[in-house]
Amino acid sequence: MSDYLPINSSSLRTDTKIGCDVYLLMKITTDSRYVLYCKGETVFENDKREKLIEENISRLFIKKEDQRKYYEYLESNFQYIVSDTRIPIDERTQIVHGAATNLVKDLFIDPRSENINRTKTFAYNMVDFILKEGNAVHSLLKIAIHEYHTYTHSVSVAAIGTLFAKDLGLKGNDLKRFCTGILLHDIGKTKISTDILNKKGKLTKEEFAKIREHPELGVEILKEAGIDFKDEYIITLQHHENYDGSGYPHGIKKEEILTCGKIARIIDVYDALTANRSYAEAKRPFAALVEMKNNMPNCFDEELFKKFIRFLGPYDPRGKRRKDDKLHS
């Protein structure tokens, strides 16, 4: 397996320091070799970009060990990169997803105010990207098929949830606050043992009781950070509340659950079902919706759930528009 990872040359902004060494893959006779093109602490100057354009080189490489540094670079230059139309939309979406995943990893390692503020800034920029790029919708939904992990789950729930909230009519700052809340919704799990979070097989009664604490633990973390949140608190606190009152932490129901909490509940379950988890294989999108409708009928606001089905209809990750309308009945 290669010790190098490919990156798009268009993701590098001129007159910036990338922070990690960048390589070309050169073919020398019958051999291929990675050759240093730009040192991480050297400014990536315009003549280097022009040379790549002249040689029609779009693919560069970084060492695997430098992936985090590269994602930090992408995050700090996020707005410039995702607005660059020279980069295909699918690749820009991959950049969004990769940078967001790296950010949430940092957040779960160190959930203090600095990383919470980074998450808020990134969420706002992510929403701007979604609003400007209509084609990002399908690309983001295609990416949201993954191996389940707390931070990848947070990113996928944020992508799907923000797109759905936009489809429902949320705009501007309301949509940005929603995206921030979704990215932060599981932050309370940072106070729960990874042995419990990553356990294969059924949780004990005591372990599940500990898991049920994470919404309130999450709100505590956000309040300790001293950041002025509102919707973010609600999403963090209510994303496990069920429409019939059987959820947690407070067992509230129906209109006691705010709309952003109801949306988060739907997306949270859908993403978990469509990801490979330690105790269950991923379901296809349609099968996940069927399970939610048949086996969890009282967990969700019925009208919102129907709207979610209609929202996913044109964007089936398998690339086929659904003809079966039974779920709507």
* CA dist 255 → 170, 204, 259 (Å): 19, 32, 8
Query: Which residues lie across from 62 on neighbouring strands?
Result: 5
CA-CA distance, 255 to 265, in Å (whole number)? 14
* CA dist 23 → 29, 39, 57, 71, 76 (Å): 18, 9, 12, 16, 21
- Residues with Cβ < 8 Å from 327, sequence gap 6 or more? 286, 289, 290, 293, 309
Q: Is 69 a catalytic residue?
A: no
Q: Look up residue 320 and give its two tokens.
A: 């086929």
CA-CA distance, 231 to 81, in Å (whole number)? 29
* CA dist 145 → 27, 30, 181, 200 (Å): 35, 38, 21, 20
Which candidate in 189, 262, 283, 293 is catalytic? 189
Among 257, 326, 262, 316, smallest CA distance to 294 is for 326
What residues act catalytically?
189
